[in-house]
Structure 1
Amino acid sequence: MITKASPLPCIEPTQCFVSSKAYDFRLSSSSNGAVRGTTNRESCEEWTLVINDDKTTCLVSTKHGRRLSCGADGDVFTVSEDGKDDDRLKDGWDRWRFESCKSGLTLVSVAHGKRLGCDDKKGIYAFNAEGLAEDWMVWTIDFASGELCFLSSPLHDVRVHCNPFGKLSLSKAFGGWEVWRFIETGDGTGSVYLESWTHRKKFLASSSDGNVYISKEAERKDAEKWTIVKPPKAEGGSILKF
């Protein structure tokens, strides 16, 4: 098989997982419009954030291309973007407002003023947004996309290379196996995760003794967090700190 070379994007569309703070499961979409909670972390649980001109947000299923929507009765579902195969696409029903709270974020339906919530059986509903948000109305955002970069040594003119089995090496090439996705951790420290762009779920990690490896669990633990700092001298480039 021959893979044709194509220009690499610098910054990907904003994609993320939306997780319940109370029950630690993720918002998941199916092709028929149903929305449920799940412990999986696959493409069905991934959402693309689309910012509208009025500063509201649409959440579009990355896998199915369907928009998260809320009905007047609090029913939560997805609709196709063109609305041709679904009579539930009403003006504003697919628009959401993110609001900060003490332990995370709430998602409020712009059309109905209801907060997105869930129960312990992984059911997803929307409730009247009055008073303080209960834990089952609080969500966290885990980014799954970011800025794409090469990790290059200017001294030796080589790049960090990851093969399909998670083996690291250095390479003179500028191909997909040398591209890394910088993903914000969202923990307020400014740290990032470094994920192989070509081989997803393979994260660059470091042990306490300085051994650099690929984390096969991909659980986004502290071993996979990195901080980007400027070098002590104005020589260009950056330093990655574990």
Structure 2
Amino acid sequence: MPFPCMESPRCFISSIGHDVRLECDSSGKLSTTRKRMHWAEWKIVELQSNENVLLQSASHGHFLYLDEAGQLSSTKDEKIPTCKWSFKPSPHGGLFIISASSQKNLACYGKDVYTSKNQSGARESWKLEFLSGELCFMSLPEFDKRLTCDVFGKLSATTKWKGWEVWRFIEIGGGDVIITSWTHKEKVLCSNGEGHVFTTEKETGSGEMWRVERAPSDDGVVISSVSHNRRLGFDGETFFTANAAEHKFINWHLEAAHKHKYHVSICSNGERIECGGMEVFLSSPKNKEPQEWLFESAGDGLVTLFSSRHNKYLSSKSNGEVALAESISGDEHWQINESKDGGAVILSKVHGRKLSSNDKKQLCTVLENDSCSSTWHLGPCMPETITGKQMWIKGLGIAVGAAATVAAPFAVMGAVGAMGFTAGGIASGSVAAGMMSAEAIAAGGGVVAGGTVATLQSIGAAGLGFAGTSAALSAGALVGGSIAGATGAMAHGAKEKVTLEGGEQSNKKRWMKRPFCDWRSWSPNQEMQGESGTCCM
């Protein structure tokens, strides 16, 4: 199974009662805004505990917390105990965001943001409108081209594999998605009833919704407009939508934006694994041309690490040596596990030894139970890109370095997984399970598709991360257990429910196909039919 390119959770925190979003300026001042701008974006940050999360301003890095007087404020110090928050479904829609230290609820009135003991109204109710998703190239194999979007939102087809050709698939409920440009994130792929395809910056709630299904020929996927029941196509010059009677199927290939390539570095010092000739070694993090390692599935939850620059595989020996090999045997098989301290553990399965470094700063492997082994950061190799703002800066003659084109941070989506929303479903006894029960009671025996629980479980199932990917590799290609939906469905007014009978979920289940880049393994007899309100946990 391919490794998906997933963004860390990023969202608007929007008031149910006032249609405003929580914002934080560069000084850390909190207020609300009606605008959907970057300063109103928040990250959900993982904690070791499975009960709480941190809420961090995506633009300025400030964490939401309560000061010594118990007043709502922000801080750069994430270790302050009053930075912790939890979620609870609200009977008014959305959820309560509760301070773990005071048990008060986040609330707003007009521009003012505060905490309140009340849970009696919409002032204390919020929804999370997620802005992150899976990043893919949208390729047309028949033409050997990719869908691209320029700074003005104009669509075209190109042979390039750069940042303008990367698209973000955001879950919106019922198995449907919104598709936005990765580089020009305000540009949303849209269609109308006449078959025209274009981008828009204003969501109308209809033409932006898409469904991805396995193509009847099995060679790719079909991307359909949900509102118009028309399939996205291309005739060599123009993009359009058409029904099956008007035009033959156009198959698309969805490929992970990082193309499964990573920079592999030690978490503690940033030193990267490099190679040259038949030597493998560690190099300075300041190296401007770091080695790219291609991660390829070897089956049974194992991968190989391949240097395409030198056509060699990373290999291990029983005596602890690390070397390079020109072909694959058991020595080249590695298992990727998530470390409790963050990062990844890279294990030679055949020798039961973990990849590490010694006192001489040389690569080696150590015994699996060695507590002094290194943990590794896998940095996705993203394509070069440039935004409209960066083009304007360059036009003024101001240098734009490589760092200016680096994407938003990519990480294991642990904050959602830690709450119990996982690739395998909702974990028994977790915060997620409690939320599911509470929401089912509030909804009269059902879970709302596109609601809070559906949102978080959809992201947990699709997000995977290292541990989830490893589990999926072991279990097989299908990544199921997803409730249909993310917050876009809330914005579009989805109100379907999943009925629970006798405390158990109804046996009406629909396996979601995630991640999108793994479409080749989707079983034809498990196609998504778009049945609203059915899910599997």
TM range (shorter): 0.7 to 0.9
Q: For 2:221, give the aligned amino acid.
A: S
Q: Please give the TM-score of this superposition, normalised by the length of structure 1.
A: 0.85
Map 1:80-229 onto structure 2 (within 5 A).
80-81=76-77, 90-91=80-81, 93-102=82-91, 103-119=93-109, 121-128=110-117, 132-185=119-172, 188-215=173-200, 217-219=201-203, 221-229=205-213
Residue of structure 2 in register with 1:57 after alignment: 53
Q: For 1:114, give the aligned amino acid.
A: K
Residue of structure 1 in register with 2:454 after alignment: none
Which structure's residues are more often strand, by fraction? 1
1:133 Cα deviation from its structure 2 partner: 4.4
Q: 1:231 & 1:195 partners in 2: Cα distance?
A: 22
Q: 1:37-93: per-residue Cα shift (whole Å, max 9, x none)?
A: 1112111100011121112111110111010112475521110136xxxxxx732x1
Q: 2:66 & 2:175 partners in 1: Cα distance?
A: 33
1:135 Cα deviation from its structure 2 partner: 0.8
Native 8 Å contact 1:193 1:220 kept in 2? no
Q: 2:212 & 2:171 partners in 1: Cα distance?
A: 11
How has the CA–CA distance of structure 1 residues 224 and 115 changed in structure 2, closer, same or farther, with 3 Å as cutoff? same
Q: 1:190-240: per-residue Cα shift (whole Å, max 9, x none)?
A: 22111111112000001012211011x33362211111222234x243221
Question: Following TM superposition, where does structure 1 have runs of at least 4 consecutive aligned residues deviating by more than 3 angstroms?
Answer: 71-74
The secondary structure found in structure 2 opposite 1:151 is: strand
How has the CA–CA distance of structure 1 residues 205 and 111 changed in structure 2, closer, same or farther, with 3 Å as cutoff? same
**16-25 vs 33-42, which deviates more?**
33-42
**65-74 vs 36-45, which deviates more?**
65-74
Extract unaligned runs of 5+ from structure 1.
1-8, 83-88
Residue of structure 2 in register with 1:3 after alignment: none
The secondary structure found in structure 2 opposite 1:174 is: coil
Q: 1:159-181: per-residue Cα shift (whole Å, max 9, x none)?
A: 10111111111111111110001
Residue of structure 1 in register with 2:62 after alignment: 66
Q: 2:35 & 2:159 partners in 1: Cα distance?
A: 37
Number of matched residues?
A: 220
Which structure's residues are more often helix, by fraction? 2
Native 8 Å contact 1:74 1:125 kept in 2? no
Q: 2:223 & 2:159 partners in 1: Cα distance?
A: 20
Q: For 1:112, give the aligned amino acid.
A: S
Q: 1:207 & 1:51 partners in 2: Cα distance?
A: 40
Native 8 Å contact 1:228 1:239 kept in 2? yes
Q: 2:154 & 2:64 partners in 1: Cα distance?
A: 38
Percent of pairs identical after alignment? 35
Q: 2:98 & 2:80 partners in 1: Cα distance?
A: 16
Extract unaligned runs of 5+ from structure 2.
226-537
1:145 Cα deviation from its structure 2 partner: 1.4
Native 8 Å contact 1:231 1:237 kept in 2? yes
Q: For 1:163, give the aligned amino acid.
A: D
Residue of structure 2 in register with 1:38 after alignment: 33
Residue of structure 2 in register with 1:6 after alignment: none
Q: 1:191 & 1:182 partners in 2: Cα distance?
A: 9
Q: For 1:110, give the aligned amino acid.
A: A
Q: 1:27 & 1:112 partners in 2: Cα distance?
A: 20
Q: 2:195 & 2:56 partners in 1: Cα distance?
A: 40
Native 8 Å contact 1:146 1:181 kept in 2? yes
Native 8 Å contact 1:74 1:127 kept in 2? no
1:117 Cα deviation from its structure 2 partner: 0.7
Native 8 Å contact 1:106 1:137 kept in 2? yes
**93-102 vs 20-29, which deviates more?**
93-102
Native 8 Å contact 1:65 1:81 kept in 2? no
How has the CA–CA distance of structure 1 residues 220 and 49 changed in structure 2, closer, same or farther, with 3 Å as cutoff? farther
Q: Please give the TM-score of this superposition, normalised by the length of structure 2.
A: 0.39
Q: 1:236 & 1:81 partners in 2: Cα distance?
A: 50
